[in-house]
Amino acid sequence: MIYEFRTYEILPGSINQVIQKFSEKIDGRNSITKIGAFWYTEIGPLNQIIHVWPYKNMEHRNSSRKEAMEKGLWPPDASR
C-alpha cells in the first residue's frame, strides 16, 4: 500500500472556489479510486490544500491517474 500526499498552494481567498471545483469532480474520480483525505490550512502555512490518495502499488497509482485524466474526471479546472 502506498499513499500519495499532494499539496498545492492556492490564491489567498480562493478556498471556497477550490472546494467547489473539487466537489464537481470528486465523485467521478472516486469511481476509479477513493480519496483518502482532503484538508485545507487555516493555521501555519496558509493557502494550501492537501489531499491523500491510497493505492495498492505504483502500477495501481499510474493506471488510476491515467484513466481519470483520459476520461476527463481529474484534475479539477483550477483556473479562475
In a domain, 76, yes or no: no
pLDDT in tens, 23-55: 999 999 999 999 999 999 999 999 999 999 999
Question: At 9, which helix (H) or strand (E)?
Answer: strand 2-9
In a domain, 17, yes or no: yes
Say how many domains are in the chain.
Answer: 1
- Spatial separation of the C-alpha atoms in residues 33 and 62, rounded to whole Å: 11
In a domain, 15, yes or no: yes
For 36, the domain range is: 2-70
The three cell numbers locating residue 27: 465523485
Q: What is the pLDDT of residue 79?
A: 62
Q: What residues contact residue 16 under an 8 Å CB cut-off, 6+ apart?
A: none
In a domain, 80, yes or no: no
Task: Write the single-letter amino acid at 34.
Answer: K
pLDDT in tens, 55-76: 999 999 999 999 999 999 999 9
In a domain, 66, yes or no: yes
In a domain, 61, yes or no: yes
In a domain, 18, yes or no: yes
The CATH number of whichever domain residue 50 belongs to comes to: 3.30.70.100
Q: Are 49 and 18 a contacting pair, CB within 8 Å?
A: yes
